[in-house]
Every structure is written in structure tokens, then in C-alpha cells.
Amino acid sequence: NAGVMQNPRHLVRRRGQEARLRCSPMKGHSHVYWYRQLPEEGLKFMVYLQKENIIDESGMPKERFSAEFPKEGPSILRIQQVVRGDSAAYFCASSPPLGQNTEAFFGQGTRLTVV
């Protein structure tokens, strides 16, 4: 059973370009969470999605950032018109739909560098 898969592992974009980060949850998991880790800081929650629905986007910047989790395929975090301050590690986590006190499993992250 493969873990949470994120790709690419490293992404370099020039200022003004678009960045698309992908996350495939663990098999059987229908909940996906995105986090951002700025250099030398902890992880900050961005958005929580279930299939075809955004449940909680309280941590998403109001502009340029969007996320989706379609019925088929991976979850996508999109950053439009990237700026240097977007340089960070972006982590995805997934969890199953049932049960209480169940942990979320993290991917290895995508490290975005904006030049």
C-alpha cells in the first residue's frame, strides 16, 4: 500500500509563472489536507478537501492560491503568478473517512523555489 505521493519533489518557477503541485492520497483515503512550511518554521494548515468539495480553506491566501480534489485523479494545489515569498515546502496529508482518533499520513513534500 503506497503512502501519500506528492510530485514533483522539487519545482523551480520564475516569478509570474504558475506552479501546480500534485498529491495522490493513500488508497482508501478520501480526505486531503495541504500545508505550507516556510523556512525554519512549522507547518501551517492551508486547506482541507474531500472528493469534489472544499471543506475548510481558512488557511489559504485569498489571492493566487487554489486547490481541488476531483472525483478522479490527484489533488492539485495551484499557485498563480508566483512570487519569491511563495518559496516553501508544501506538504499534503490524507486520512480515511471513518473512525475517530485516526492519524493523517503525510507525503514527502514538494519544495518550491521561485527565482
Partner 1 sequence: GNSVTQMEGPVTLSEEAFLTINCTYTATGYPSLFWYVQYPGEGLQLLLKATKADDKGSNKGFEATYRKETTSFHLEKGSVQVSDSAVYFCALNAGGTSYGKLTFGQGTILTVHP
Binding residues for partner 1 (CB under 8 A): 4, 6, 31-33, 35, 41-45, 48, 55-56, 91, 93-95, 100-109
The minimum distance between CB 109 and partner 1, in angstroms, equals 5
Cβ nearer to partner 1, comparing 18 with 41: 41
Does residue 56 contact residue 48 with C-beta atoms inside 8 Å? yes
Cβ nearer to partner 1, comparing 1 with 14: 1
Write out the DSSP string of 31-92: EEEEEEE-TTS-EEEEEEEETTEEEE-TTS-SSSEEEE--SSS-EEEEE-S--GGG-EEEEE
Cβ nearer to partner 1, comparing 33 with 82: 33
